[in-house]
Amino acid sequence: MLFEENIIFLVLKVLITFAGTIGMMISTTDFRFVKRKFVSIVIFGIYSLYVVLSTYAIIYFLDYAHFLRVFLLTISCPAVFLLHNISDEPFPRLVFTRATHILISLYIAATVTLLNTALHGTELSDILLRLLIYLLIILFDFYFVRRIYLNLISTIRKGWGTLSLIPCAFIILAVTIAFYPEHYAKRPASIVMIYLLGAVIVIIYSAIGFYLSIQYHRLSAEQNREILEWQVQNIQRKTANIENLTEQTKIIRHDTRHMLSTIAALAENKDMQAILDFIKTTAKIPDLPESLHYCNDPLLDATLSSYLKSAEESGITLETSFSIPDHLPVDSAELAICFANALGNAIKCCEKLPEEERKIIVKCIYKPKLMFEIANPYKGKITFDRNNLPQSSESSIKIGIRSIIAFCEKHDAFYTFTAENGWFKVTVAL
C-alpha cells in the first residue's frame, strides 16, 4: 500500500524520512566540527522547507515514482554539500559518514513500507511506525553507538576518499534495484535482491569496523611503545648517573686515603698549622651529581623522571609535590602508563603556549588514598561531551584520555577532567 494518490501523505512521509536521517546524523556528530551552530539550525530549517516544496512539486507535476528516482540529486546530495559548508569536518570523511546514514535510512524507510503493506496498514499507521522506528534508531545511536563510532572514525586521517566510494556505490545500487523499472513493493524478486544486498553491506561494514578497530589498537600500542621507550631511556640515564657516581666515589675514597696519610704524618710532627693549611687548600670533596628521586618503585620513578625531564627540556616550569607509598595499590606498570598519558598530554598542551606561560603542577598524596592531580594552562576553548569528558582533535591526546579512563574504570578509580580559569586539570583517586 503506497497510497500514491495521497500527495500530502507522501510529502509527510518524505519529510519524516528526511528528519529521521538528519537525526541519525546529529546523534553521531562531533559538534566540535560544526561552525556557527545557531546559523546552522536556521539553514537546516530553510532546507527542510525546500525539501517539502521540491518534493511536492515533483510528485504533483510528475509522480511519486519519479521522485524516488531523483531524490538523491534533489535532497541527498545538496544536504551533504550543505553539511560540508557548515562543518570543518574533512570532506571525504564527511561523505563516508553521511552516505552511510543515508544508506541506513533507505533500508529503514523500505522496511517500514514493507511492514505497513504486509499488515494492510493505513496512512496513519505508516506515519506512526516510521516515527517510532526512527526515534528508536536515533536513541540507540546516541546512547550506544556514538562513542564507539566517533572513536573509530577518529583513528584514520587518510584513505577516506576511497572508503567513501563504498556507501555511495551501495546507495546507487540499492536505488536502482528498488525503483527501476517500478517500485520494489510491486516486485517480490526486487525485495529479495534488496535484502541480499543488505547482507553484503553488513559484511562490508563489519570489515571496515574491524579495520578501524585494528588501526585504533595499533595507535594505542604505538603510544604505549613510546612510553616504554621513554622509561627505558630514563633508566639508562639513571644507570649512567649511578656509574658516574660510583666512579667519582672511588676517586674520592682514593684521594681521601692520601689526604689522611698526609694529615697523619703532619700530626706525628705536631705541626698543627700545616695541618690546617693542608685541609683548607686540598681537602675539598667535589660535589656529587644530583639524582632526582620520586618514589621507590623503579618503573614509576623512571616514568616520572623521564616525562618531567622532557617537560624541563621544553621550557616548562614545574611545580611538583610527590608522596608515593612503597607499596602501590595497583600494578606499577599500569599506574606508570596512566601518569605518562596525563603528563604527556599536559606537555603537548604546554608546548603550544608561549614559553613564559608554560607550567605544569603535579601533586600526589597517598593518604587517605593514593591520589594525583596534574594541571596545565591552556588557550582557547575545551569542549566536553555528554559524559563530561574532554574532546580533542589530536589523536594522540584523544588516545591518552581514553587510556586514563580505561585505567580508572578497570580499577574502579575516581577521575575527573575540568577546565576552569584557563587551567585544565586531571584528577585520579585510587
Residue 290 lies in a domain: no
Domain boundary among 160, 186, 212: 186
Per-position DSSP letters for 217-279, written without gaps between them: HHHHHHHHHHHHHHHHHHHHHHHHHHHHHHHHHHHHHHHHHHHHHHHHHHHHTT-HHHHHHHH
Beta bridge partners of 428: 372, 415
Same domain, 26 and 162: yes
Considering the domain architecture, whether residues 271 and 315 belong to the same structural domain is answered as no
pLDDT of residue 288: 46
Which is more confidently placed, 281 or 383? 383
> Is 338 found in the same domain as 392?
yes
Quick check: 303 and 267 in contact, CB under 8 A? no
Tell me what the mean pLDDT of segment 298-302 comes to: 82
Say which residues have a Cβ less than 8 Å from residue 372's Cβ, sequence separation at least 6: 339, 342, 362, 363, 364, 365, 427, 428
219/292 Cα distance (integer angstroms): 31
DSSP annotation of 119: T
Query: Are 398 and 308 members of one domain?
Result: yes
Tell me the pLDDT band of 278, cut-offs 50, 70 and 90. low
Q: For residues 141 and 47, state if they share a domain.
A: yes
Average pLDDT on 112-131 reads 91
Same-domain check for residues 259 and 314? no
Contact 98/149 with Cβ under 8 angstroms?
no
Mean pLDDT of 331-339: 85
**Arithmetic mean of pLDDT, 293-320:** 85
Asked whether residue 401 is assigned to any structural domain, the reply reads yes
Q: Which residue has the higher pLDDT, 241 or 283?
A: 241
pLDDT higher than threshold 60 for residue 294: yes
Residues 307 and 416 in one domain: yes
pLDDT band at 112 (very low <50, low <70, confident <90, very high): very high
Answering whether pTM is above 0.75, one says no
In a domain, 242, yes or no: yes
Q: Find the range with the poorest average confidence among 143-157, 227-241, 264-278, 301-315.
A: 227-241
Mean pLDDT, the chain, integer? 83
Q: In which domain, by residue range, is 126 found?
A: 7-186
Whether 192 is covered by a domain: the verdict is no
In a domain, 345, yes or no: yes
271 and 322 part of one domain: no
pLDDT at 402: 81
On whether residue 216 sits in a domain, the answer given is no
Short-list 134, 142, 136, CA closest to 27: 142
Number of domains in the chain: 3
CATH of the domain at 364: 3.30.565.10
**Is pLDDT above 70 for 293?**
yes
Per-residue model confidence as pLDDT tens digits over 173-219: 999 998 888 888 888 888 999 999 999 999 998 888 888 778 777 77
Q: What is the rounded distance in angstroms from the CA atom of residue 334 to the CA atom of residue 179?
A: 56
Q: What is the rounded CA–CA span in Å between residue 100 and residue 104?
A: 6
Distance CA 366, CA 302 (A): 19
| Residue 405: pLDDT over 90 | no
Closest by CA to 413, choosing from 399, 400, 428, is 428
Are 101 and 27 contained in the same domain? yes
Last residue of a domain, one of 186, 202, 218: 186
- Judged on CB neighbours under 10 Å (0-12, 13-18, 19+), 236 is exposed
Contacts of residue 53, defined as CB under 8 A and 6 or more positions apart, other chains included, come to none
Shared domain check, 278 and 328: no
Q: Is 200 domain-assigned?
A: no
Q: Please list the residues that pair with 377 across neighbouring strands.
A: 423
Same domain, 44 and 180: yes
Report yes or no on 409 lying in a domain.
Answer: yes
pLDDT more than 90, % of the chain: 30
The last residue of a domain, from among 186, 204, 237 = 186
Confidence label for 262 from pLDDT (cuts 50, 70 and 90): confident
Give the model's confidence band at 245: pLDDT under 50 very low, under 70 low, under 90 confident, else very high: low
pLDDT band at 223 (very low <50, low <70, confident <90, very high): low
Task: Answer yes or no: do 17 and 156 share one domain.
Answer: yes
Q: Within 10 Å of residue 405's Cβ, how many Cβ atoms? A: 18
At residue 89, what are phi and psi to the nearest 5 degrees?
-65, 140
